[in-house]
């Protein structure tokens, strides 16, 4: 990567405060999604996270969006790193149980094959606020083989367009 590219990324990180730290529950959601994918799509997701280096989080922590600091519209991304590129938007809903009770519930959205955002329907009360940097996600996912034994991950369903609309409306209404 060129020095100019690195300087541009560093400048964007200064402008957008706290744009590089993920919370522990966000890491858990990413890991659950990664482990749900087929092997080929896992490799694609890791390659995407080699580009995704910035995040934007809603004030209530229920929405987390990922960005490529140099190509925010992902125009220059290779087609072979996209997951389900023929789908304009697709959402995957998961729940995570800890000690037999609901701990975390979320939907991960891909837009035209690119990882876009996580919407948390339920997030934990307690979490580590600065668990990992965004630029470390690719390495973290490469090392993931299972979700820890305290958690049970359940893939619930693919989200319909109506459910997607309802989730977006709920994000706007709830603090």
Q: What pLDDT digit, counting tens, does each position of 85-120 carry?
A: 988 889 999 999 988 899 999 999 998 899 999 999
Q: How many domains is the chain partitioned into structurally?
A: 1
C-alpha closest to that of 106 among 93, 124, 88: 93
The model's pTM is 0.84
Neighbouring C-beta atoms of residue 52, cutoff 10 Å: 21
The model's pLDDT over 17-48, given as tens digits with 9 standing for 90+, comes to: 457 789 999 999 999 999 999 999 999 999 99
The model's pLDDT over 130-151, given as tens digits with 9 standing for 90+, comes to: 999 888 999 999 988 766 666 7
Q: β-strands 132-133, 101-111: how paired?
A: unpaired
| DSSP characters over 6-50 | HHHHHHHHHHSTT-SEEPHHHHHHHHHHHHHS-HHHHHHHHHHHT
Check residues 114 and 13 and name the one with the higher pLDDT: 114
Per the CB < 8 A criterion, the answer to whether 104 and 96 are in contact is yes
Domain ranges, residue 26 = 3-173
């Amino acid at each position: 990567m060129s020095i100019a590219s690195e300087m541009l990324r560093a400048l964007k990180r200064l402008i957008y405060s706290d744009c590089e730290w993920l919370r522990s529950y966000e890491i858990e959601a990413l890991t659950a999604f990664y482990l749900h994918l087929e092997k080929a799509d896992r490799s694609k997701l890791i390659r995407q996270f080699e580009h995704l280096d910035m995040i934007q989080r809603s004030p209530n922590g229920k929405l987390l969006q990922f960005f490529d600091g140099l190509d925010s519209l992902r125009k220059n991304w290779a087609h072979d790193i996209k997951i389900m590129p023929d789908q304009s938007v697709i959402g995957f809903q998961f729940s995570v149980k800890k000690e037999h009770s609901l701990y975390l519930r979320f939907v991960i959205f891909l837009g035209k094959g690119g990882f876009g955002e996580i919407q948390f329907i339920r997030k934990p009360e307690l979490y580590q606020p600065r668990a990992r940097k965004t630029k470390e996600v690719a390495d973290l996912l490469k090392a993931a083989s299972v979700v820890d034994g305290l958690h049970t991950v359940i893939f619930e369903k693919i989200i319909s367009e109506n459910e997607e609309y309802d989730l977006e409306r709920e994000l706007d209404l709830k603090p």
